[in-house]
Amino acid sequence: MILSMTGFGKAVATASNKKITVEIKSLNSKQLDISSRIPAAFREKELELRNMIATELVRGKVDFQIYAESIGVETTVSLNIPLMAAYKAQVEEMARQLGLAWPDDWYSVLLRFPETIKSELPASLSDDECAALFKASTEAIEGLMQFRRKEGKKLEEFFRVKITNIRELLLSIDPFEKERVAKIRARLEENLSKLDSVSFDKNRLEQELIFYIEKLDINEEKQRLSQHLNYFIETLESGNGQGKKLGFISQEMGREINTLGSKSNNAEMQKIVVKMKDELEQIKEQVLNVM
């Protein structure tokens, strides 16, 4: 089964005094591109988390976020009063030298300055917190992979329908192809018959007609396109990690369909070719989402 690159996963784990929430989502991308938002307390584990994501997800534009909430205990936060007193003294001195009025609300002014609020965070994660972090991360990644598998199944069903449509359109060309040769021959002979003063060698005309009709022959293009359709399905069934390969096959299918259109020389055949192109464009658009 193929996998989609689109997915979302979320998980929550608790340590002794923290609730840790991990969210991860992915979109299609040619390579693996991870962007993360991680609290400062968890930065020491960022490299391990990125390696874990890279191993599981392989490709995609990945957004990884961690939220941490304190539970069951009061957060150790205090005001840095000596620093705030120093800030206030400097503001008062500035006001005197510049002839400015003092602020009406000292609280809002002083609290804007850096490091006026102190939060006593632990120097490193405890074993309990570390275990909760990786538990939530693992579960979130697995949730995303389940999402990818579900979306991959939908994509596979979509591709099978579109390949079947192209195959049926290819078969519908046959009746028009047979009558096309007779029409081309009749048109050329009719145009030549209108030229009363021109004589021509009928044997030579026959040879030129055969040469011209051979140039318009589409049997090779039909055969190659049919082979590409079969190869697309075979690749689809071979497992995940086939997104790029499916993209290359769809490009080859496009070349054969374009050649069919340029050689068709028949209005009904060209309509069929346009329908085939429409089906193929839908395939190409969705192939970008395949892992």
Q: What is the pLDDT of residues 67-111, one digit of tens each?
A: 988 776 555 678 889 999 999 999 999 999 988 888 888 888 888
Confidence of residue 240 (pLDDT cuts 50, 70, 90): confident
Q: Which of 41, 70, 67 is nearest to 130 (CA)?
A: 41
283 with 155, same domain: the answer is: yes
pLDDT at 122: 56
**How high is the pLDDT of residue 121?**
54
Q: Is residue 242 part of a domain?
A: yes
Q: How many domains does the chain have?
A: 3
Give the model confidence (pLDDT) of 2-34 as tens digits: 999 999 999 999 987 788 999 999 999 989 999
149 neighbors 270 (Cβ within 8 angstroms): no
Summarize the confidence of residues 138-167 as an average pLDDT.
Answer: 96
The pLDDT value recorded for residue 61 is 95
pLDDT-based confidence at residue 257 (cuts at 50, 70, 90): very high
Same domain as 82, residue 66:
no
Is residue 47 located within the same domain as residue 85?
A: no
60, containing H or E segment? strand 60-70
Does residue 100 sit in the same domain as residue 57?
Answer: no
Same domain, 97 and 132: no
- Let me know if residue 1 belongs to a domain: no
On whether both 242 and 279 belong to a single domain, the answer is yes
- For residues 174 and 268, membership in a common domain is answered with yes
Domain boundaries, position 142: 7-73+127-148
In terms of domains, do 213 and 107 share one?
no
Cβ-proximal residues to 14 (8 Å cutoff; 6+ apart), any chain: 20, 71, 132
CATH number assigned to the domain comprising residue 50: 3.30.230.40
Examine the domain organization and report whether 267 and 234 are in the same domain: yes
Pairing of strands 60-70, 32-37: parallel
Looking at the fold, whether 109 and 143 belong to one and the same domain comes out as no
Distance separating alpha carbons of residues 105 and 166, to the nearest angstrom: 73
